[in-house]
Amino acid sequence: MGLTGRLAAYAAGRPRPFTVPVPGGTRARLLVEAELRRRAWTPAPGPVESGLLVVCGDPGPELAEAVDAVWAGLPAPRARVALPPHATEADVRAALDRAARHLGDVPAQRAGLAEDHAAEHADEHSGHAGQPEHGHGEHGHHMTGSPGGVAMAERAPDRDGLKLDVLHVPLGPVLADWPAGLRVRVAMQGDVVQDAECEVLGGTGGGSFWDGPWLAAAAGERVTRGEAERRRAASHLDGLARFLAVAGWRGQAERARRLRDGVLAGAPEEELSAAFARFARRTGRSRTLRWMVRGLGVVDRAAVERYGLAGLVARHPGDAVTRLRARLAETGAALKRAGDRTALGDGEGPRGPAGGAPSAATLRALPGLLAGAELAAARLIVADLDPDPDPIGAADA
């Protein structure tokens, strides 16, 4: 094997996976993220930078089509892992091991073949320098009416009465740090959202992973308040991780994920509370973060009543800064109750009444919150509202 093959084999040993969450696949996604961290595999920020696609859950036909389109665009060598919603830790490890072995074999083989082919090509064409190459006529470009397959822009008056191009852009459903299966179709003029429509692809309408303790208690199982508060804290930390990642604070997003995994793994309450206090202090004191999200996604009391909003969004009307502070405060309070051994006696999950689909109301309110926002701000608004697509079915969406 030549130098190219050795370098390719080395790179394949540390793949950059891109994870695609599917509604109903939250548990599998969490196991994958924890395992990737254990292996020190750095997640790719997008499919183009990845050679390993990890699908967590069972996508429906429309979402599967979107995943296949992303898979087709992954650079070779590549590998694909499909995990069912109820995959175990052993399943995740085995699947990632198989993918690593595949990636370790393919680059070396291809590099060796490429070197052999190059040598043969040089021998065959020695003495023919300057001769025209053949066999390229079948690779011509076929125009289909829109460059690159992107819809041509229309014309429409913007908010100031000027005529500007209108570009229709889908956000999701396959996007880094994005709710599972969510697709937001936005109409853009310049870099400003004029209109938006939301839908959840692959929604099953099943129970939410984050509502698990409340659903178990409703089914007659003995569940402690501490178990439920751990799940609440982990849910908030999961949302904070996405929000901070979209904001560009990757290091703090990783700390949130580590805390989340520790909460779910049963780490001691004192240890978690101390680590979270440091995390919350640094996050809450960031002037840059507050400046970036101030005034985004303002939800007032009228919107809460109009859309039937529930959970943290309803309890703390205001903008993204208000919700950030509230989420940090509620997470800290939940961690302090993580040792409570009394029986769970209420049905209020992290996002609202457990067993329902409170995030469906959030998605109904989302288009109005996105209108007038710049595209980067739109992504921050979605991450801040942190909708949970798991329990949203076709009728809710």
pLDDT tens digits, 97-116: 999 999 987 544 444 434 44
Given a cut of 50, whether residue 90 has pLDDT beyond it is yes
Q: 165-186 as b/e, with b when 16 or more CB fall inside 10 Å?
A: ebbeeebbbbbbbbbbbbbbeb
Least confident of 19-23, 148-152, 366-370: 148-152
* β pairing state of 52-56 and 154-157: unpaired
The CATH class for the domain spanning 3-112 reads alpha beta
User: What is the per-residue pLDDT for 104?
Assistant: 86
CATH 3.40.50.12280 residue ranges for the chain: 3-112
One-letter identity of residue 354: A
- 77 cis-preceded (ω within 30 degrees of 0): yes
Of residues 140 and 53, the one with the higher pLDDT is 53
* β pairing state of 52-56 and 79-83: parallel
CA distance 57 to 104: 25
pTM: 0.84
Q: How far is CA 131 from the centre of its chain?
A: 51
CATH 1.10.645.10 residue ranges for the chain: 209-385
Going by C-beta distance under 8 Å and a sequence separation of 6 or more, which residues neighbour residue 91?
83, 84
pLDDT tens digits, 189-235: 989 999 999 999 987 768 899 999 999 999 999 999 999 999 999 99
What's the Cα-to-Cα distance from 160 to each of 155, 157, 164, 337, 378, rounded to whole Å?
14, 8, 10, 52, 20
SS (H, E, C) 285-342: CCHHHHHHHCCCCCECHHHHHHHCCCCHHHHCCECHHHHHHHHHHHHHHHHHCCCCCC
What's the Cα-to-Cα distance from 32 to each of 1, 49, 61, 93, 375, rounded to whole Å?
33, 18, 23, 8, 29
CA distance 294 to 106: 48
User: What is the per-residue pLDDT for 6?
Assistant: 55
pLDDT tens digits, 246-275: 999 999 999 999 999 999 999 999 999 999
Percentage of residues in the chain having pLDDT higher than 70: 80
CA distance 111 to 9: 9
CA distance 203 to 49: 28
pLDDT tens digits, 342-394: 999 999 999 999 999 999 999 999 999 999 999 999 999 999 999 999 998 75
Residue range 16-32: average pLDDT?
97
CA distance 245 to 176: 9
- 157 cis-preceded (ω within 30 degrees of 0): no
CA distance 306 to 361: 10
Q: How far is CA 365 from the centre of its chain?
A: 20
CA distance 273 to 191: 41
| Residue 114 burial class via C-beta count within 10 angstroms: exposed 0-12, middle 13-18, buried 19 and up | middle
- CATH number belonging to domain 209-385: 1.10.645.10
Other CB atoms within 10 Å distance of the CB of residue 245: 21
Cβ(56)–Cβ(20) below 8 Å: yes
